[in-house]
Amino acid sequence: MKQTDLTSAYGLIHLPAKVTLAAVEKPDGGYNLITLEWFMRTSIQPPMFAISIGHSRYSHECLLESRYFNLIFPSVEMKPLCAMAGSSSGRDTDKLDLGKVDFLPGKLHKLPVPKDAVAVFECEVTSQVRSGDHTIFVGEVRYSWANPDRTLLVYS
Ligand SMILES: Cc1cc2nc3c(=O)[nH]c(=O)nc-3n(C[C@H](O)[C@H](O)[C@H](O)COP(=O)(O)O)c2cc1C
């Protein structure tokens, strides 16, 4: 063990990683997707998830307006969608259309529930905290969806 720079230490723990997608509502109608590695469960009762979103992301703008997100756990088939949603912005792309995402409307705010996902949690934002150049949005799970026939995507 030796003391080192942040990048060298982070490089050793970065992958493999679970990734998620968050679906959010666009202020002018429609929905956006963002790929997220920074998420966690934060409460058992009530069930809650936190997601950390960079201030420069379009999804950040969306979440300040509409306080709902669907946290989507992708299947292996959804890797290309995660790559696309993590490298393009909803400011100039309709990612659901581009990714040909087949989805059901969720129960809480009709946010998309992709049919190929392993699990989806419909969340309502109950608090947020600034964390450097990101904001942590904490959401309470209102509805859950599961697809036991699919295999969870792990990024490596
Ligand atoms: C594997 C992966 C994980 C990512 N994790 C995060 C994350 O946790 N938080 C974040 O703000 N951006 C994350 N990003 C970057 C965003 O997904 C990316 O900037 C996206 O284009 C933002 O889209 P938007 O402008 O439509 O919101 C990640 C990207 C990838 C490919």
Q: How confident is the model at residue 156 (pLDDT cuts 50, 70, 90)?
A: confident
Ligand 1 first shell, C-beta below 6 A:
19, 32, 34-38, 52-54, 57-59, 86-90, 134, 155
Give this prediction's pTM. Answer: 0.98
Q: Which residues pair with 130 in a beta bridge?
A: 135
Q: Whose CA is nearest to atom 31 of ligand 1?
A: 86
- CATH architecture designation of domain 16-155: Roll (2.30)
Q: What does the block give as tokens for 62? A: 């969306």
Question: Domain coordinates of the chain in residue numbers?
Answer: 16-155
Q: Which atom of ligand 1 is nearest to 93's Cα?
A: 26
> Over the stretch 38-72, which tens digit does the pLDDT of each residue have?
999 999 999 999 999 999 999 999 999 999 999 99
Q: How far is the CA of 68 from the centre of ligand 1 (A)?
A: 18
